[in-house]
């Protein structure tokens, strides 16, 4: 191997040993720099004849080009390697399963409330919402349950700040205060028509929501749900309650062989009053009477507190337990499961 060829070879070797671009530039300087080996060779031609310069110069040029080619190749190789390292570091494994975003869904009791609203909506009932912190007036007194009325003791609840010393505010024990609140709004809206002796559009409303009592076991929770129903007009009877509620239960449970029983009962704000029991004729609950609601014809004192003349307006109300309905519909035997927030239980309803 001649001197020039071995120069190319040692340059190529030194370039190959350069692991970084900086090393490579140092290696380049040793051959192509101002005092590099190739430059030295050029300088060494000074004493040669014109003829010799021609051939020697051409040979050195070939050598220089070969070294430059090796340099370029090595530069490219280092840049490629660096790119590979970078790509590897930033690599996305597209074959990994994505992180799943939980689908989420409605709570079983919310599903029931939606169902109730849908069914009563189709029967022309509005949906009203009201406060969970109530005054003594709306929760009791306006509902014909004055202070010291024994029925209050069944509605032991949580008292909160506000109200008066003898009638403090409380967490509502039922959704019945919405009977008064909604009716008063309705009457206010139609005041002019009423004053002109014109007929008032009927009140037809349901009021779902949270309610509270000091109660806690497998079938009672200190916070639970109720859904009130109210229908007031000039000619609304107990028969309408039976029709409406039977229709509701059969639609809700998707079962035509379901019978209802209106069992005489007492509520201060209805007279007469009835508990509504249902009985399935088939299925796992067949043959048992299951209580699902309280109901009755709205008491004249309550109609008066709505701002209406009880001689002219009459109607019925009911209050049902959506938690209970949910338990019956899905076969859940412990109410507390609804409020524990255990995803293993809740996800079964999606």
User: CB of 332 within 8 A of CB of 348?
Assistant: no
Contact residues toward ligand PHE (CB under 6 A) are 174, 176, 267, 270, 294-296, 317-319
User: Which of 160, 113, 153, 152 has the alpha carbon at shortest distance from 135?
Assistant: 160
Question: CB of 168: closest distance to ligand PHE in angstroms?
Answer: 20
| Residue closer to ligand PHE (CB basis): 319 or 322 | 319
| Residue closer to ligand PHE (CB basis): 209 or 294 | 294
Helix (H) / strand (E) containing 169: strand 168-171
Q: Tell me the C-alpha distance between 244 and 179, whole Å.
A: 18
Residue nearest to ligand PHE (CB): 319
Question: CB of 292: closest distance to ligand PHE in angstroms?
Answer: 11
| Residue closer to ligand PHE (CB basis): 28 or 213 | 213
Query: Which residue in the block uniquely carries the two structure tokens 């000091």?
Result: 214
Question: CB of 308: closest distance to ligand PHE in angstroms?
Answer: 17
Q: In what order do the strands lie in the sheet with 168-171?
A: 133-134, 168-171, 159-163
| Residue closer to ligand PHE (CB basis): 70 or 320 | 320
Question: CB of 237: closest distance to ligand PHE in angstroms?
Answer: 15
Question: CB of 285: closest distance to ligand PHE in angstroms?
Answer: 22
| Residue closer to ligand PHE (CB basis): 135 or 295 | 295
* CA distances for 261 relative to 68, 239, 280, 328, angstroms: 102, 13, 12, 17
Half-sphere exposure of 60 (CA within 13 A, CB side): 17
Query: What is the SS3 assignment for 10?
Result: helix
| Residue closer to ligand PHE (CB basis): 31 or 316 | 316
Q: List residues bridging with 223 in a β-sheet.
A: 212
Cα dihedral 8, 12, 13, 15 sign: positive
Question: CB of 252: closest distance to ligand PHE in angstroms?
Answer: 17
Task: Give the rounded distance of the alpha carbon of 29 from its chain centre.
Answer: 67
């Amino acid at each position: 191997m001649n001197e020039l060829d071995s120069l190319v070879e040692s340059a190529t070797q030194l370039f190959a040993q350069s692991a970084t671009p900086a090393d490579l530039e140092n290696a380049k300087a040793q051959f192509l720099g101002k005092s590099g080996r190739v430059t030295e060779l050029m300088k060494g031609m000074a004493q040669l004849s014109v003829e010799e310069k021609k051939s020697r110069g051409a040979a050195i040029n070939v050598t220089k080009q070969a070294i430059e080619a090796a340099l370029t190749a090595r530069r490219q190789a280092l840049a490629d390697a660096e790119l590979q390292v970078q790509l590897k570091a930033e690599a996305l494994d597209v074959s990994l399963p994505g992180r799943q975003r939980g689908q989420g869904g409605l709570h079983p009791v919310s599903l029931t409330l939606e169902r109730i609203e849908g069914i009563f909506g189709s029967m022309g009932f509005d949906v009203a919402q009201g406060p969970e912190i109530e005054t003594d007036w709306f929760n009791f007194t306006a509902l014909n349950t004055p202070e010291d009325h024994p029925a209050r003791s069944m509605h032991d609840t949580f008292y909160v700040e506000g109200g008066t010393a003898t009638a403090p505010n409380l967490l509502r024990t039922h959704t019945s205060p919405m009977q008064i609140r909604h009716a008063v709004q309705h009457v206010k809206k139609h005041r002019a028509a009423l004053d002109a002796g014109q007929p008032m559009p009927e009140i037809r409303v349901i009021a779902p929501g949270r309610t509270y009592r000091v109660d806690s076991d497998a079938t009672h929770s200190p916070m639970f749900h109720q859904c009130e129903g109210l229908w007031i007009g000039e000619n609304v009877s107990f028969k309408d309650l039976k029709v409406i509620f039977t229709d509701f239960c059969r639609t809700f449970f998707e079962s035509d062989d379901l019978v209802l029983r209106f069992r005489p009962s007492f509520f201060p704000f209805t007279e007469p009053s009835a508990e509504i029991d249902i009985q399935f004729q088939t299925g796992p609950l067949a043959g048992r009477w299951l209580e699902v609601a309280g109901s009755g014809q709205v008491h004249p004192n309550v109609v008066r507190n709505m701002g209406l003349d009880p001689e002219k307006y009459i109607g019925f109300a009911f209050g049902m337990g959506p938690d209970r309905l949910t338990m019956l519909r899905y076969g859940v035997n412990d109410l507390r499961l609804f409020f524990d927030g255990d995803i293993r239980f809740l996800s079964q309803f999606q």
